[in-house]
Amino acid sequence: MQSLTPERRKELELKANDVRQGIIRSLLSAGSGHSAGSLDMADIFTALYGAVLRHDPKKPDWPDRDRLLLSCGHIAPVRYSAMANFGYFPVEELLTLRKFGSRLQGHPERVKMPALESTSGPLGEGLAQGVGMALGAKLDSKDFRVYVVTSDAEHQCGLHWEAMMTAGKFKLDNLTCIIDRNFIQIDGSTEDVMPLEPLADKYRSFNWEVLECDGHDMASIFDACERAKQTKGKPQVIVAKTIPGKGVRYMEGDYTWHGKPPNKEQADEALRELSAARERILANV
């Protein structure tokens, strides 16, 4: 099984910092959007685009590319920032988030940009879409993989569980679901609103391979994805343990940042903190 070299890990950590800064700038420009989940998934999306996915920004519609679906479309800022930082479009375009006529709407729209793969907004639909793509790949004898990023709270939606059952029935080992397990939703803790635990055992009962990772450790994320690729005969779920608002201290762990952007003063503070973090990464501190 492959592993990240220290040099590659450092490169990805720096890129994740760039992705977080792009998120903050885009949310400030938009004046609306979701901060906490976007920031806490920056490491996951950086690892996917930088080390896991088979993709080519110069050929976004490449038929043999891996498919990446964002089921929880409200954290679109992290996907947009990752795509920009990996060459799909200019980073400056992030400042058009949620503007009229922009390709970067509040939720991803498939027809707006190549490689977005799906339009997402209503929670709970992404895994069902991914199951269809993975099953289609099997029927067409294609070897691309399908990754679906989901929030933990959207596991409160019934369609998601129907998709889990279907994936298990058809043994879709080309399908990986990644859960942003940050324990928050707009009204508070998932375990107060509608408890999800024991979440891993529920997936196992649907015949899924269950993996876990530290959603802020590049090596842990990469290793989980590599183990998923090696799994045969069943779909895989990676439960990524994350901290909402990761990288910005005043947001971390605070569910009230689920659905609001920073103001100018708050954004400046966040960018200063992220710039300092970048210097520490460079210094290997």
Domain total in the chain: 1
For residues 123 and 190, the answer to whether their CB atoms sit within 8 Å is no
Tokens of 8: 């590659």
Element (H, E) at 69: strand 67-70
In a domain, 54, yes or no: yes
* Rounded Cα distance, 103 and 95, in Å: 11
Q: How many distinct helices (H) and strands (E) make up the chain?
A: 10, 7
In a domain, 49, yes or no: yes
In a domain, 83, yes or no: yes
For residues 284 and 10, the answer to whether their CB atoms sit within 8 Å is yes
- The 8-class DSSP code of residue 66 comes to P
What is the domain-level CATH number for residue 155?
3.40.50.970
In a domain, 79, yes or no: yes
In a domain, 1, yes or no: no
pLDDT values of the chain reduced to their tens digit, one per residue, 285 residues: 788 999 999 999 999 999 999 999 999 999 999 999 999 999 999 999 999 999 999 999 999 999 999 999 999 999 999 999 999 999 999 999 999 999 999 999 999 998 999 999 889 999 999 999 999 999 999 999 999 999 999 999 999 999 999 999 999 999 999 999 999 999 999 999 999 999 999 999 999 999 999 999 999 999 999 999 999 999 999 999 999 999 999 999 999 999 999 999 999 999 999 999 999 999 985
Tokens of 59: 């050929």
- By residue range, what is the domain housing residue 182? 6-282
Tokens of 111: 């027809």
End-to-end CA distance of the chain: 28
Q: Which has the closest alpha carbon to 225: 182, 167, 181, 176?
A: 176
In a domain, 72, yes or no: yes
